[in-house]
Amino acid sequence: MSRQPERADAPVQSAPRDVFWPGFMIGIGLVGTLDQVVLHQLLGWHHFYDKSTPAVGLASDGIFHAASTVLLLLGGYLLFRNRRRLVDNEAGRAWAALLLGGGAFNFYDGTIQHKLLNLHQVRPDVPDQTPYDVVFIGASVLVLAAGWALLRRTASRS
């Protein structure tokens, strides 16, 4: 049984039906990668796990970077597979999801990993963490709010 070629305007059957989750994954992967490059590598402020030896910290950074890269690539692949939806006024929804994913990741990182689990701090070598926490968590709340506002705006246009 031979397979007939798909029409150019036919929907992609195996692609996800929504661009939200691929965009959300890209947001997590992108912000995780930026966190890794800027805070871990360029500034050298902390490792993903700071409660052990530098070698363990470096290994934890590698695992974190691999996970964020996988999310970035997987989200990009799924979004590419569903690219026809981006033409159908779904690009705003994908951007909203990217902002929500990035903001949610940083909010989780700043509250759960930094404060609750105490895996690391934004900048552990300073006596007062408060300004760093306020900026880090505050920025994540602003990104979340921007993503939520864009998602609501795109939903109202549908």
**Three state DSSP letters for the chain:** CCCCCCCCCCCCCCCCCCCHHHHHHHHHHHHHHHHHHHHHHHCCCCCCCCCCCHHHHHHHHHHHHHHHHHHHHHHHHHHHHCHHHHHHHHHHHHHHHHHHHHHHHHHHHHHHHHHHCCCCCCCCCCCCCHHHHHHHHHHHHHHHHHHHHHHHHHHHHC
Domain segments of the chain as ranges: 20-157
pLDDT, tens only, 54-109: 888 889 888 999 999 999 999 999 999 888 777 766 889 999 999 999 999 999 99
pLDDT at residue 10 greater than cutoff 60: no
For residue 17, what pLDDT band results from cuts at 50, 70 and 90? Answer: low
- Give whole-number Cα distances, 116 to 112, 120, 121, 137, 146, in Å: 5, 10, 11, 13, 26
Mean pLDDT, the chain, whole residue set: 86
What integer pLDDT is reported at residue 87 of this predicted model?
A: 72
* pTM, entire model: 0.83
pLDDT at residue 157 greater than cutoff 60: yes
Q: Is the Cβ–Cβ distance between 141 and 107 less than 8 Å?
A: yes
